[in-house]
Amino acid sequence: MLTNEEIKIIKETVPLLKDEGQNITSIFYNMLFEEHPELKNVFNQTNQKKGLQSSALAMAVLAAADNIDDLSPIVPVIMPVVYKHCALQVQPEHYPIVGENLI
Residues whose CB falls within 8 Å of the CB of residue 40, separated by 6 or more in sequence, listed in order: 33
Whether the per-residue pLDDT at 44 is higher than 90: the answer is no
List pLDDT tens digits, range 28-42.
999 999 999 999 988
E strands within 7-52? none
Specify the pTM: 0.87
Helix/strand number for the chain, H first, E second: 5, 0
Whether the per-residue pLDDT at 27 is higher than 90: the answer is yes
The pLDDT assigned to 76 comes to 92
Range of the domain at 60: 4-102
Average pLDDT over residues 71-76: 95
Amino acid at 4: N
For 19, the enclosing helix (H) or strand (E) is helix 4-35
CATH number reported for the structural domain that contains residue 59 in this entry: 1.10.490.10
Total of domains in the chain = 1
